[in-house]
Structure 1
Amino acid sequence: MPSIERINHESEIPKYKQVVELIISDIEAGIFKKGQRVPSINETSEELLLSRDTVEKAYVHLRKNGILSSVRGKGYYVNQANLQKKLKVALVFNKLSNYKRNIYYSFVETMGSKAGVDVFIYNYSIDKFEEIINDHLTAYDYFVILPQFNDENDRAAEVIRRIPKKKVLLIDRNLDVLNDYPVVYQEFEKDIQTALGKALPLIRKYKNINLVFPQNEYYSKNIIRGFHIFCQVNNLEFSVIHQFADEDLKKSQAYVLVSDDDLYRFIKICRERNWKTGKDVGVVAYNDNPVKEILEDGITTITTNHDEIGRTVARMILDNDFRRIKSPFEFIQRKSL
């Protein structure tokens, strides 16, 4: 029978459900075989330091689901050994956004009926992230984690390493301190150089190119570095704007907008001035979505395929094929540049 260390007394998951998962896990591992008697309610209660009522609730649940059978006066026996248990996956995101919803939907669709998926949001807080992991450490078969913190990667790595390595997949960001973990990642510095390189003839129509990069957000600083390199290599006049204001929008200049909030403000100012994107000013936005396809007759974007990230991670789990994969990055030309 499982030892006390396998019950997390601080977890939000009810203890009877933890007992259910432990017994199912031991049956799947072959510790208990079909027809074999499992420890009694009293024995399990003493072993796990749980109340008898808690353990009895777990056993009754297992009996109702056909996993255990009971014989009056003798105890509980394994009734079903080949359980084909549905996988439990935790998606741990920094926040919800359009592209993270795309990752979620494509992941869930690819997993199908083979997994139950729960989403946890830590809002960039390393303390909240640590709480989520500690509270659910034994509750999930896999943790799919988007690690996005503000200069706290070492601490985040320490928390992630508490999870058995075979259960962890990282997405979107490649942390150098976890370079031996499977990941589907963006290569922010090189991606922006490659994508803007495809747009270079269009960019040269403009006097200056500006990167609008909100300073108080958690976007990868490698975007700025890649933008600098691209402009310097191609002898372009450029600037980086951290707090976009009305006076920053000038005719005959091009803008690369990382934040959707800045994009919508940009378009509002253009409309107030009767300026046409792609003619009076140029604009390239990060992270494509259906709205950008129709907004202002089409917003040019540089983007990874977030649907494919979700599908790729799901296939890794289903195929038990864990690797490090760079997500493709695209330049999608529309009328705004």
Structure 2
Amino acid sequence: MAFKFELDNTSTQTKLQQIIHAVTEAISNDVLQEGDFLPSVNTLSRQSGVSRDTVFKAYTQLKQRSIIESTPTKGYFVSSKSFKVFMLLDDFSSFKEQLYSSFRNNLPENYSVDLLFHHYNSDVFEQLILNSQGRYSMYVVMNINNERMEKVLKKIDPNKLLILDMGKPDTDEIAYLTQNFSEAVINCLTEGLELIKKYNEFHLVYPKVTPHPHETVEAFATFCEQNQISHSVITNIQHQTIKAGQAYFVIKEDDLVHVVKSCKSSGLKLGKDVGLISYNDSPMKEIVGSGITTLSVDFCEMGEKVAQFIQSKEKIFETLPTRLILRGSL
């Protein structure tokens, strides 16, 4: 099947973006194979009605990305079957590093990945999505909100998009790989009930400003009320005095560090005098002290599943299990 390009005057993409997108799509769908020739600049300009300068700029950008090459006598041809992936995460942390490493290690070498971060800034998020249009084979995006999908994501071809971690789409056209921040929390805490009951009080450390879904606060309260456990939600632990007989469930790494350091300075032993549970596992939490107990999905598994989706394009509709990983701190 020969490569053909038809200009879409209703598209939000520029003419330049449309040509680039059409070529990369043709390569991804095996319409164009390695070594196949593209129409000349003059031919594509004449067939599509796009100016010669625009076609030339599009071909130049494709060359800069090493997707196509050219020779003076034969023209432009596909240099290699390569795929470019857009990956937009919320922020950088140790468990996101696990996710990315697992994802990258499970992708073949002919897949390149542009990794960006939105830091929960909706303006940055929207601009990055809009700027990515027509430039990538596949898109992996960590949404901002757990309750809804950001509207700008609907500008991406749903067959190329995977929503990660938070925000289940309101349509079955878009793949997702998320986690549960409510029932899963109750189930995990229930699994550790006997250990939690060793302590007189159980505190959730949930800062006033955090992107972590509020469902976890409600789940924590439900668990404590169902099991008649004295509990509270602390918004700022930095000035709290850590005392024997207390157990803490922390979301942020900074708060985890504060509890560990406070126990050390006060001579309190984690897992005996003070209980500690942290959200999201990481290799470091395995080795701190006698180990930090965590509630977490398997981020390596998440990375593997993302890589499978990118390669197969078979849609995933999955909520990963959250597990209680018991270690010495509880």
Measured against the shorter chain, the TM-score band is 0.7 to 0.9
* Identity level (%): 25
Please say if residues 4 and 47 of structure 1, whose CA atoms lie closer than 8 Å, have aligned partners that are also in contact.
Answer: no
Cα distance in 2, alignment partners of residues 61 and 327 from structure 1 = 40
* Residue in 2 that maps onto 1:41: 42
Q: 1:35 to 1:307 in 2, by over 3 A?
A: closer
Alignment match, 1:265: 258
The aligned residue for residue 100 of structure 2 is 104
- Give the equivalent residue in structure 2 for 1:58: 60
Deviation at residue 59 of structure 1 after TM alignment? 9.7
The verdict on how the C-alpha distance between 1:175 and 1:315 changes in structure 2, with shifts beyond 3 A counting, is same
Taking the TM superposition and a 5 Å limit, the aligned residue runs for 1:38-187 are 38-41=39-42, 44=45, 47-49=49-51, 51=53, 54-55=56-57, 58=60, 61=63, 71=73, 76=75, 85-149=81-145, 153=148, 156=150, 158-175=151-168, 177-178=170-171, 180-187=173-180
Q: Decide whether aligned partners of structure 1 residues 179 and 258 sit closer, same or farther in structure 2, where only a CA change above 3 A counts.
A: farther
CA RMSD of aligned residues (A): 3.4
Query: Structure 1 stretch 295-304 or stretch 260-269: which is displaced more?
Result: 295-304
Measured at CA, do residues 86 and 215 of structure 1 come closer, stay the same or move farther in structure 2, by a change above 3 Å? same
Q: In terms of mean alpha carbon deviation, does 242-251 or 228-237 score higher? A: 242-251
Equivalent-residue separation in structure 2 for 1:328 and 1:2 (angstroms): 45
Match of 2:288, SS state, is helix
Q: Distance in 1 between matches of 2:87 and 2:103?
A: 10
In structure 2, distance between residues paired with 1:299 and 1:198: 16
Distance 1:221 1:35, change over 3 A: closer
Aligned to 1:291: 284
Name stretches of at least 5 consecutive residues in structure 2 with no aligned partner: none
Q: Which runs of 5+ in 1 are unaligned?
A: none
- Given the alignment, which residue of 182, 202, 225 partners 1:209? 202
**Structure-2-length-normalised TM-score:** 0.85
Change beyond 3 A, Cα 1:180–1:332: same
Displacement of 1:69 after TM fit?
Answer: 5.9
SS in 2 for 1:139: coil
Q: Of the candidates 291, 313, 324, which is equivalent to residue 320 of structure 1?
A: 313
Q: 1:51 deviation in Å?
A: 2.5
Q: CA deviation at 1:48?
A: 3.1
- Superposed displacement of residue 161, structure 1: 0.5
Equivalent in the alignment of 1:190? 183
Q: 1:150 touches 1:218 (CA, 8 Å); kept in 2?
A: no
Number of residue pairs matched?
322
Q: What residue is the counterpart of 1:3 in the other structure?
A: 7
2:227: which partner in 1? 234
Q: CA 1:30–1:91 in 2, change beyond 3 Å: closer, same or farther?
A: closer
1:192 is displaced (CA, Å) by 1.1
- Contact 1:18 / 1:139 at 8 angstroms: preserved in 2? no
Decide which of 208, 233, 240 is 1:247's aligned counterpart: 240
Gap change, CA 1:220 and 1:61, over 3 Å in 2 = closer
1:269 counterpart letter in structure 2: S
Give the structure 2 partner of residue 329 of structure 1: 322
Offset of residue 304 of structure 1: 0.9
Deviates more, 1:21-30 or 1:88-97: 21-30
The amino acid of 1:261's aligned partner reads D
Partners of 2:141 and 2:24 lie apart in 1 by: 25
Q: Is residue 292–residue 329 contact of structure 2 (8 Å, CA) maintained in 1?
A: yes
Deviation at 1:70, TM superposition (A): 5.8
Alpha-carbon distance between aligned partners in 2 of 1:60 and 1:141, rounded to the nearest angstrom: 13
